[in-house]
Structure 1
Amino acid sequence: MTIRIGQHEVGHGAPVYVIAEIGLNHNGDVELAKRLIDVAADAGAQAVKFQKRTPAISTPEHMKQTPRETPWGTMTYLEYRYRVEFDREQYIEIGDHATMRGLDWFASPWDVPAVEFLEELNTVAYKIASASVTDLEMLEAIARTGKPVILSTGMSTLEEIDRAVAALGTENLVILHATSTYPLPPEEANLQTIATLRDRYQGVPVGYSGHERGLQISLAAVALGALAVERHITLDRTMWGSDHAASLEPQGLEHLVRDIRVIEQAMGDGVKRVFPGELAPKAKLRRVGADAPPA
C-alpha cells in the first residue's frame, strides 16, 4: 500500500521518503529555519518537519517554572518554550519557502490547539511525536482532519501503539520505528522492530526515525525495509539546543540521501538471474558449462 503526502507517494514501490526534521533546531529564528530548509532541499530530501506547541498546554506542569539557561539569558522553561515558537505569519513564511524549494512541509502538534493552528495553514500531513502516542484526544483531533499521519513509536509499548492506531485508523497512516534516546546508542536501536511493526500493522508503510550519531543505523533500516527515514538536521552539531548533538549536519544529510538511493537500487527484486555484467566474466572464468555431462 502507498499513501500520498503532498507531492510524494510513500510505500512499497516508491522511493524512500526522507524527512529532514528541523524541529526546534531553528532556535526561534525564521532565517535559520529557511537555511535549514535549503539544506534539506539541496540534499534531496522530500520533506521538512517542524514542531508546534501551545506552551501553556503542552509544557508539563512540573517543568513550567524550571530555570533554563538560554542564549537569551536565564528564563523559565515555559518562557523558553514561548521564545522558540513560530507564530502564524512566521509559519506562512517558512512554509512558503519550503514549498518554493519543492519540499513537503508539516509539523508535530503537541496539543489540540496546535492541530487547529496547523489545519488553518493547510499542512499536507501530521507527524505525531513519540511523546504524544498516548494523547488520544489529540490523535482523534488529527484523525478528524482526514490528512495523512506519520506516527513515531519511541518510548511506547505495542499496546500503546495499538490504541494510537485504533484512534487514527490505518488508511492514511505511516508508522516509524523509533527509540527516544538522544543520542541513540546502537544497542538501543532494535531495528528488528521494523519487521515486527510491519507484521503487526499489515498494509501500513513502516519507516524509521533515528536519533543516532552517524548514518549506519539509518542505512541499515532502509536495507531492512524502512519506507521512510526521518533525521534531525542542523547547521552545526555544537549549536545551543537539546537536539543539535543528535542531528545531521548538511554534508551528513547529503550523504544519507545519496546512500539511501544507492541501497534502493541495490535491493533488486529477489529474482535470481544472470545479469548482463556477468556474461563476460562467465565466458572467461567458467570452465564447465551447465550442459556438460557429469563426470
Structure 2
Amino acid sequence: METSIFVLGIVIFLALAFDFINGFHDTANAIATSVSTRALKPRVAILMAAAMNFLGAITFTGVAKTIGGSVADPAALDNGIQVVIAALLAAIIWNLVTWWFGIPSSSSHALIGALTGAVFVGAGAGYVKWEGFISILKVLIFSPLIAFAIGYIIMTVLKWIFAKRSPHNVNKGFRTMQILTAAIQAFTHGTNDAQKAMGIITFALVTSEFQDTLDVPLWVKLSAATAMALGTSIGGYKIIKTMGTKIFKIEPINGFAADMAGASVIFSATILHMPVSTTHAITSALLGVGSAKRVSEVKWSVAGRIIITWFITIPISGLLAGLIFKILF
C-alpha cells in the first residue's frame, strides 16, 4: 500500500506539473489580444487571467470525466499508473518544447495523444476505447473551424455596424470592453483546460483502486485549479508575442471579436463535457477575424507553422509516450 501511495503521489505531482505548465503555456490564449492592444498591462492581465482561470476550474467537472474514461477504462488496466506517468511525461515535454519556441500548440492534443499512445503501448490496442478517442478527436478537429467561422462572422458584422464611425472612438470603446472579454476568455479556459489534469488524477485514483467512480474529489478540483492559476500567474510571454503581434496587427475591435468567438466555442465544449483545444479555438478565431478584416494582412506563414504544429502534436505525443513507457517500464 505504501508503494502504491508513493507512486500515486508521483502521478499527482506530474498531473499538477502539467496543469502548472498548461497555465503559463496557455496564458496567452486569454490575454494576448488585450495586451497587444494595450487594453491591459501584461502583469495586470496575467493576474486577472490567473484568478478567472481558478474560478472557471472549480466550477465544472464534466470534461474531467470525459478525459478520465473516454480514451481507456482505468479499472481495466493492470498497469494504469505506469500508463499515466508515461502520458504525463510526454505531454509535459511537448508543452515545454513548443513553449520554448513560442509556438501556441495544444495542451489538449498533447495529453490526449500521449494517453492514447501510452495505453496502446502499455496495455495493447484492445484497451484503447477508439470510439471515445475518435469522438474527442472530432471535437478537436472541428472546433477550430467553427471558431474561425464565428470569428469571421462577428468581425464582418462589427465592420458593417461601425463602418461610418470614427475608428479612434470605436477602438477606444472596444479597448475598454476587452477587459471584460479577456476575463470571460480566461474563465472559459479554466472551465475546460484545468479539468484535463483533474481527469488524469481521477483516472489514476480509479486504476489504483482508491475510488470506484470518475467523480472528481474536491481536493483534486482545488489542487488542479490552484496549479493552473499559479502557472497562469507566471505568464507565457513568448506565446503572448506570437498570438498578439505575429498573426496580424490587432486593433481593439479585432481583439473583442476574437475573444468572443474563442470563448463561445470553448464554453460550448465545456457544457457538452468535451475537451477542446483552447489554443486552437482562440488562434482560429484570430485567423477568422483577421481574414474578415483583410486577408492580405494575415501573416499566413506564421499561421501555417501553427497549423502544422496542430496536426503533428497528437502523433508525436503518442509516439513519445509509448517510447517513455518502453524505457521506464
TM score, norm. by length of structure 1: 0.25
Bigger strand fraction: 1
* Greater share of helix: 2
With CA pairs under 8 Å and 6+ residues apart, which has the higher RCO, 1 or 2? Answer: 2
